[in-house]
A and B are shown apart, each in its own frame.
Chain A
Amino acid sequence: MIATPQEFDLIIEPGRSEKNYWNDLWRFRELFLFMAWKDILVRYKQTVIGLAWSIIRPVLTMIVFTVIFGNLAKLPSQGVPYPILVYAAMLPWQFFSTSFSDASNSLITNSNMLTKIYFPRMIIPASTVIVNLVDFLISFAILVVLMFWYSFVPGWNILYLPFFLFLTFILSLSTGLWVAALNVKYRDFKFIVPFVVQFGLYISPVGFSSNVVGKWRLLYSLNPMVGIIDGFRCCILGGKQQQIYLPGMLLSIGMIILIAIFSVFYFRKMEKTFADVI
């Protein structure tokens, strides 16, 4: 009898997972939603004021920054209320920084899943970013309240906001993936990440307008958060003063694309060894 070659659904070989990867990612979309749903449910469990934390953190930081940069240092605000100037930048910064630090720990806190179950590992850091997106939307409501308070009416520019939100999302996800993969192997990143976040707050134009930087502005835009924050300010505050500085913006977007490609590539490369090294 001649054996007919049998069709197999799945072949496991060294290096093979590449081909099924994106299919798998789609197949595991339910797990992704469940993970995000779990993280949202769990996030404020056993806290007294619960969801209010996602409002309190940016509001307090905004107040501090307004007092320090606006009232004490008297930096220019180009005719918009200083709190709104700060808060418009606070939103993407908060989204980025918490996603970045949550994602960096996500693989390690879920290490027992990594060693017991197969699924595309990208799901875990990605779901933490989704959770922070929900937080972002909640704190966005505060912006609306602030606008009412100062009777500030945004222009048509605000319709471009989703684009910049998308950029923030991509930047958060890709840097999160990268540092999460690094953290699996080198726990040093447990110490590096909080430092980067703290440092980043001061080198990004959160407390002040990026016009303050002057002639170094193009170089400054190598920091991708500069482009994002400028974009947010342009959309929310509008007006001539908030005109986008185009070369800087393009440079920032370019940086984001580079980081995204590199991070996904790096994560995919390291992913196969996670279960062995974690």
Chain B
Amino acid sequence: MSIAIKVEKLSKSYIIKHKGESVNDSLSGVITDKIKGTLQKSKNLIKNRSSPKAKSKEEFWALNDLNFEIKRGERVGIIGHNGAGKSTLLKILSRITEPTTGRISTNGRVASLLEVGTGFHPELSGRENIYLNGAILGMHRSEIKNKFDEIISFSEVGKFLDTPVKRYSSGMYVRLAFAVAAYLESEILIVDEVLSVGDAQFQKKCLGKMQDISSEGERTVLFVSHNMQAITNLCNRAILINKGKIIQDDKASKVIQNYLMFETSKSGFIEWNNEDALGDSTIKLRGIKILDQANNIRNHFFSKSKIRIQLDFEIFKMDDLLVIGFDLTNEDGIVIFRSYHHDSKQDDWPHLKTGNNSIYYEIPAELLREGTYHISPKISLHAIKWIINSDPILSFDIELNHGVSPYWTYYNKSNRPGIISLIAPWKNVE
């Protein structure tokens, strides 16, 4: 089979400036820095010292010596934590930014979809935006014309076609944006986390469409997602990246299992210091703890006991739209449920305040089956944007002991199918 993408010794470095130094990229900053530098040099000359190596700048290797080949028709998932280098890789593949060293060779028309709705203009109507966005994604006018009706029917915005998109609901906007992208024709398709938008039903539709797209013909797909299920469904191969290097390159299911097993913390808690805490200027996650009823940190539980998931975070700017929660994922990467702090009725919500907060959720007892489970923190501004949309980063084990029947005890716990093990009594119909 011929090769569609060949990556050789690919590296990308960024220069990062450290705190304390003025991060001054304005004109005056550059000028004063130059003057300061010269002054420093002359001072050093006078004092007869060699100038100390500037420590204020540091090279950061977002990608470090990547090598892989992708054959025509392969569908490859790229997984890794936030900041692992996935997006940088996609950006280089889509020619948005240049590599520092190395080379990529591709064969076939490349289309990349790093975001849905890039270049949508709020003042233009749905119809006009379809043409504009199509052109931005590299479609020809005739192509768009041919697929226009399909795009409309997929997006379900039919009668609002001539309304400016600024009047659209956010759901309609996303649907239209995805619909244009879904009909992009190319031999190689590069897709970044674009399915995490819209409502659940539409997400499902998009995922189905993605499956159709990738299975038709000899199309090569590169797919980044935090949704392990989507990767399992779509991809036959996965590449795990961490700190800019390839950790594993194998069958998708194998890589995902490995990723969930070895890339998560098993100590029962994670704490971050200021530097690498997840979050933005609104909120930063300080730590996650898995606790038992007596508030001890643990990573191993019996299914009979409740499990507390505690999130510690600091709010800098209080926002009523803040949504804090997590996904509970099993070892196959299937999300068992997602919980948000405002799921219950409003009186029961925990109180959030500016400054440090600690809230917890209790996973009910007698629910989970034997196995390993993972926590992925999720924090967002409701229906506006993700602040933290992380992969699993913390895990714990469950040992089944809530089976009370002699036929289903923890001695014969693993031979029954199902994602959870919920016990409820059977009764005679009166």
Contacts and interface: CB of A to CB of B under 8 A. Distances in A.
Interface of A: 6-15, 17, 28, 30-31, 34-35, 38, 41-42, 45-46, 110, 112-119, 185-188, 272, 275-277
Contact of B108 (A9, A28, A38, A119): A9
Contacts of A28: 138
Given A12-B104, A30-B135, A276 B92 contact: no
A188 B27 contact: yes
Given A17-B95, A45-B123, 14 more contacts: A13-B102, A30-B135, A30-B140, A35-B135, A112-B119, A114-B96, A115-B96, A117-B136, A118-B94, A186-B25, A186-B30, A188-B28, A272-B98, A275-B96
Interface in B65-98: 91-98
B304 interface: no
The 4 A-B residue pairs with the shortest CB-CB distance, nearest first, are A8-B105, A118-B95, A34-B135, A12-B104
Contacts of A13: 99, 102-104
B141 interface: yes
Given A12-B92, A30-B141, A46-B123, A6 B106 contact: no
Given A38-B124, A118-B112, A11 B136 contact: no
A28 to B, nearest CB: 8
B103 A12 contact: yes
Nearest to A34: B135
A117 B112 contact: yes
A6 B3 contact: yes
Interface of B: 2-3, 6, 14, 25-28, 30, 91-110, 112, 114-115, 118-119, 121, 123-124, 128, 131-132, 135-138, 140-141, 164
A8 B99 contact: no
Contacts of B98: 12, 14-15, 17, 272
B262 to A, nearest CB: 31
Contacts of B26: 186-188
A5 to B, nearest CB: 11
B273 to A, nearest CB: 27
Among B110, B118, B131, find the residue whose CB has the most chain A CB atoms closer than 10 A: B118
A114 B91 CA distance: 11
B107 A6 contact: yes
Nearest to A188: B27
Contact of A113 (B103, B108, B136, B138): B136
A34 B28 CA distance: 37
Contact of B91 (A14, A112, A272, A275): A275
Nearest to B136: A117
Contact of A41 (B94, B109, B128): B128
A7 B2 CA distance: 10
Contacts of A117: 94, 96, 112, 114, 118-119, 136-137
A217 B132 CA distance: 48
Nearest to B164: A45
B53 to A, nearest CB: 24
B17 to A, nearest CB: 12
A93 to B, nearest CB: 27
A276 B138 CA distance: 22
Contacts of B131: 34
B322 to A, nearest CB: 24
B363 to A, nearest CB: 38
A15 B100 CA distance: 9
A86 B383 CA distance: 54
A44 B91 CA distance: 34
15 contacts: A6-B3, A8-B6, A10-B107, A17-B98, A30-B135, A30-B140, A30-B141, A34-B131, A41-B128, A42-B124, A117-B137, A118-B96, A118-B112, A186-B25, A188-B28
Among B105, B108, B141, find the residue whose CB has the most chain A CB atoms closer than 10 A: B105
A22 B394 CA distance: 50
Contacts of A10: 105-107, 110
Among A38, A185, A187, find the residue whose CB has the most chain B CB atoms closer than 10 A: A38
B86 to A, nearest CB: 15
A152 B121 CA distance: 44
Nearest to A277: B25
Contacts of B124: 38, 41-42
A112 B140 CA distance: 22
Contacts of A45: 123, 164
Nearest to A27: B138
A95 B95 CA distance: 33
B103 A11 contact: yes
B123 A42 contact: yes
A185 B141 contact: no
Contacts of B137: 117
